[in-house]
Chain A
Amino acid sequence: MVKRRSIDLIVLLLISVLVVSASAAIYYAMLAQSTATISAAAVYFTDGGDSSGILTLGTNDTYASLSLNAYPNVTLYYDQAVNLTATSAKEVQLRHVSISPDDNDPSVSNFTSMVFRLIKADGTEVGTLTYTTTGDVWNEPGSPTGYVAIGASEEWTIKIEIKAAAGANTGVSTTIVIAVDVR
C-alpha cells in the first residue's frame, strides 16, 4: 500500500512539473499574440497594372479607395484594378459590406452591373462578387465568395468590370464597399 502511494506521488509530481512548464509556454504565447496586433497585416493592398490614377491606398495599405469610370451600354474592364499581397500563408475571401445610394434611389438605374473577380497569381479566378440592378434596386451578392488559401509572398489581383445603362446620365455615381476577409 505504501509502495502504491509512493508511485502516485511520483506521478503527481511529474504532472505538476509538466503543468508548470506548460503554463509558462501559454503565458509566452499570449504575449506573442498581443505583439502581433501592432505589426503589419499579413495580407494588404498593393498597386495593380491598372491602378495608376484610380487607386488610393490608406494607412498600412489595409484600405483601398478606387475611382472608376462607367461607360453607358458597354463594359469597362480593369483587369488589375488593385492587387492583394500576402506576407504569410492565409485564407482570404471577398464580402459585401455596403452600397450607396441604396435601393429606390433613381440614380441606381443608371448602372447595369459591377463585378469584382478575385484572380490568383496564375490567372485562376477563385471568387466573384456580382452586383446588378433591376430598375432602382441593387441585386447584391448574397454571400461572401468563400475562403481560399493564399500562399506567403503571393500577389493576387482584383479585376473589376463595370457597366452603365444605355443612355445613363453622365456624372451619376455609386459607391460599393467590399471587405477582403483574412484569417
Chain B
Amino acid sequence: MKGIKESLSFKNIRGSIWLVLTVFILFCYLPPSVIGSEYYSVLMQNYGAVVSPSVILQDGIAGASTIYANNTSAKVSVSAPKTNNTEDYVDNNISNIDNSADEGTHSNFTAQQYGPDSINDMLTEGGGGTVWLWQEDTSGYTSTSSYETYQFWSSWTTNSTTSAVITKIGIYVFANPGNSPQVKLGIYNDNGGSPNNLLGETNAATIAGAGWLDLDIVGNGVNISPSTTYHIAHITNTAPTTQWRYLKTATPVSRYRNNTVWPNLFNPAGTTTASTSYRYGAYRVGYDEPCRLDLEVQWTNADYNETNEELAIYVDKENTYSLDATGGYMIIGNGSPDWGSVTGTISFWVKMDTSVQGRFWGQDGNMETRWSGTNLILDWGATASMTSAYSFSADTWYFVAIVWDENSNNLFLYVGDENDVPTLDSNSLTGTWTSTTPAPTENRFMNGLGGSEPVDGHGDDLRYWNIARNLAQIQSDYNTELTGSEINLRSYFKLNNNFDDVGPDNNDGSGSGSYSFSTDVPFPENVRVDVWNATSWQNLFTDLTNGWNNVSVSSYLTSSNFTIRFKGGNESGDGVQDSWNIDVTLLHTWTFVETTYDYVLRVNNTVADSWKIRLKKYSDSNINRLQNCTIYFHNSTDGTSGQICIDNGAYTQDVGAWYDLPSFSTIYIAITVEANSTGTSYVYVYLEILIPNTTTYVQYIITSEIN
C-alpha cells in the first residue's frame, strides 16, 4: 500500500506526464522532419541517329574551291586582281643627285637587275686609310750623329680652314736602327715659347724598319683649330744606331732638349734652338678616314601612276645568326677534338651581355681563357700564360684571335671590334713563350673546363686553323664568312642557327644548357637605304634583313626618275671596311581592281523540304587590306542577297538576312573583292541552315581565302 501511495505521489505523476510527452513528440514530430520534402524526377530519352545532310555544298566555277568531307564545309580561294603589275629593275648606278661623290664600290651592279639567284652585287665601303693634314719634307738628311739621345720637336701652323680631329702622328725613319728602340710621339699647344700643354700622345712603339712610323693618339684624338700653331715631338728610350735627322731648309726651326730622360716627353723646358741647317725629325699628323658607303642607284623610266608602289630589295647577308648563351655553351664535336697543334690559330667573335665574365674557349685547364679584371688571360701550355693589355667591356662585339707557334715560341693575341680592325695586343709573347699545348679534356666554346664559367652573351664564327696566321691574314677575312674549304682551316662553325662544322674535320657540335640562336651578329654592319624626295634624303630602311625587304614608296615615286642610295650603318669612326651582297633591286608597281567571282560555291538542297539559309561571320585575319569584300547569295529568281560585307577593312555587315532555299533548289555563293595591298586575308563564316518556323539549325563552315 505504501508502494502504491508513493507511486501515485505528485512527483511521480508529474514525471510520468513528462515522459509520455517526450515520447509523443519524438514519434509524432521528428519522423516527418527526417523524411524530408517532395522529390521526384522526370525522364528524358534522347535518340540520336546519324543522317546524311539534306543540304550540301558543291564546287563553283570561279576561283578555287575545296569541298571537305560530307559536303558540309568548304574553302574558297580567290585573288584580289591587279592591273599594270610590273617589276621594274633598277636602271643605273651613275646617279649623283645630291652632288656628293660616291663612296664605296659595286662588284657587279647588273646583278641587281635580275634574280633572286646566287649572283650578287657586293657593295663595299670606301674610305678607310689616313688623311694627312701636314707632313714635313723627307727629301734630305745628314748623318750628323750628335743628337740621338735628345728630345726633338717641330711646329705646325694650320691654315685658315683647317678644322679636324687628328688621331695619328707619324715620324720618318731614315733607316732601320737595328737595336729596336722605342719611340713616343706627342702634340701640344704653342704658348709662344717652349711647348708645355699636352694635347695628346701615342703609346710607345718599337722602331723596326725604315720609312714612316705612324702611331695612334691614345683616346679620341685631338681637335685642331684653324690658324693655330702646334708642336709635334718625339722621344726614344734609347739612342737609335742610325739617324732620322733630315736637312732643314725652311723655318720654323726644330728644337731639341739635351739630356731628356725617357719617357718624360712632354716637359721640354730648358730648350735649345737647333741649328737652322738641320731638323731633327720629320713629322706628319692626320686622321683615320672612316669607312663609308654612299652608292646611289636610279630608275629613269619608272611607272609612277599606280596605286601601289613598293621598293623591293633582296639581300644575302650570309652571317645571319649567332649563338646566344644564357647559362649554356657549345660542345665541339663530342668534346674531344684536339686543337692543340704545334702551330695554330683559334678565332671567334664574342659579346658579353652584361659584364666581363666567363671563359670564351677551352679544351684543357692549361689551354683556355680566363680573366684578370677586364684583361684576358691566355692559359696556354703547362705553366705559360699571357695577360692582355687590351681591356674588355660588356655589350661590345669583340673579335679575338689566339695564335701560337711552338717552333718560334710565339703566343700572340689579336683583338678587334665592329669598328676597329684586329691588332696585335702589346703584351703578346714574341719568342718568349716556351710551352707545349696539352691534349684536350673538354673542347668547349663559351665555357671552360668543368662547365662552371659560361659566358652570358653571344658567340659567333668560331674557327680553328692548324697554322699560326699573321696579322694580314687575320685582317683579310675576320669580318666575312668563309666557305670552310680554305687551306689550313680545319674546323669552322658559322653558328647560323646550327652547330655544323663546315671545315674538313667535320666535328659538328652541340649545345648544352640554356642557349638559343640570335639575329644579333657582329658583321656586317647595318646597311641603310634612303630615298631622294627632290630636296633631301629620307630613310626607308635602317637595316636590310636577309631575303626580301619591301617598303611602300608611293609618296616618293612621283615622277619617272626615282633615286635611292645605300648607306653604311656607321659612317663615323668606322675603321672596318664592310661589304654586303645585294641580289635584286626593283620597283614593284600595280593597281588593284574590283573583281567579282560568280560563283565560288553552290548550296544544293537535295530534298523536298524547304530551308532558310544565311551567312554569319565568326572569325577573320588580315582583313585591313580589303578595300571591298562582299559575299552574297543569288539564284535565278530571288535576286541577290549581300550576306557579309567588308568595306575599307571593317565589317559593315557580319550576318546576312535569311534567304529561302526551296525544295530541290540551288543557291549560288559569289564574292566581290578588291584589296589595297598584297597579302593574304581570311574570312571565316558559318552557313546557317534553318528549318522554317523553328529554331533548329545547322552550321556549316566556309573559309574564304583572299590573296
**Chain A residues near B (Cβ < 8 Å):** 5, 8-9, 12, 15-16, 19, 22-23, 26, 29-30, 36, 41-45, 49-50, 52, 61-80, 82, 95, 97, 110-111, 114, 116, 158, 160, 162, 164, 166-183
Chain B residues, CB < 8 A from A73:
68-70, 72-73
B53 contacts the other chain (CB 8 A): yes
Chain A residues, CB < 8 A from B70:
71-74, 166-167
A12 touches B46 (CB 8 A): no
- Contacting residue for A70 out of B17, B48, B696, CB 8 A: B48
CB-CB nearest in chain A for B42: A62
Chain A residues, CB < 8 A from B32:
26, 29-30
Binary interface encoding of chain B residues 43-64 relative to chain A, with 1 for a CB under 8 A from any of its CBs, else 0: 1111111111100000000000
B45 touches A41 (CB 8 A): no
Can you list 19 contacts pairing A with B, beta carbon distance less than 8 Å? A45-B42, A50-B691, A63-B43, A71-B53, A74-B70, A76-B696, A79-B697, A110-B50, A116-B46, A158-B44, A169-B50, A170-B50, A170-B52, A171-B50, A172-B50, A174-B49, A175-B46, A180-B41, A182-B41
- Contacting residue for B42 out of A41, A72, A183, CB 8 A: A41
CB-CB nearest in chain A for B687: A74
B46 touches A114 (CB 8 A): yes
Chain A residues, CB < 8 A from B44:
45, 63-66, 82, 158, 177-180
Which residues, 679 to 707 on B, are CB-close (under 8 Å) to A? 691, 694-701
- CB of A48 to closest CB in B, whole Å: 8
- CB of B20 to closest CB in A, whole Å: 9
Chain A residues, CB < 8 A from B696:
50, 76-79
CB-CB nearest in chain B for A75: B699
- CB of A29 to closest CB in B, whole Å: 7
- Count chain B residues whose beta carbon lies closer than 8 angstroms to a beta carbon of A: 41
Q: Given A19-B25, A49-B694, A77-B699, do A70 and B49 touch, yes or no (CB 8 Å)? A: yes
CB-CB nearest in chain B for A64: B44
B43 touches A181 (CB 8 A): no
Give the CA-CA distance A78 to B697 in the complex, in Å.
Answer: 7
CB-CB nearest in chain B for A160: B46
- CB of A50 to closest CB in B, whole Å: 4
CB-CB nearest in chain B for A182: B40
CB-CB nearest in chain A for B14: A8
B34 contacts the other chain (CB 8 A): no
Q: Given A19-B24, A23-B24, do A68 and B45 touch, yes or no (CB 8 Å)? A: no
- CB of A31 to closest CB in B, whole Å: 12
In the complex, besides A29-B32, A175-B46, 19 extra interface pairs with C-beta distance below 8 angstroms are: A9-B14, A12-B17, A23-B24, A67-B49, A69-B51, A71-B52, A72-B52, A72-B69, A72-B72, A73-B69, A74-B72, A79-B696, A97-B43, A114-B48, A167-B70, A170-B50, A170-B52, A173-B49, A181-B39
A71 touches B41 (CB 8 A): no
Give the CA-CA distance A134 to B73 in the complex, in Å.
Answer: 22
Chain B residues, CB < 8 A from A5:
10
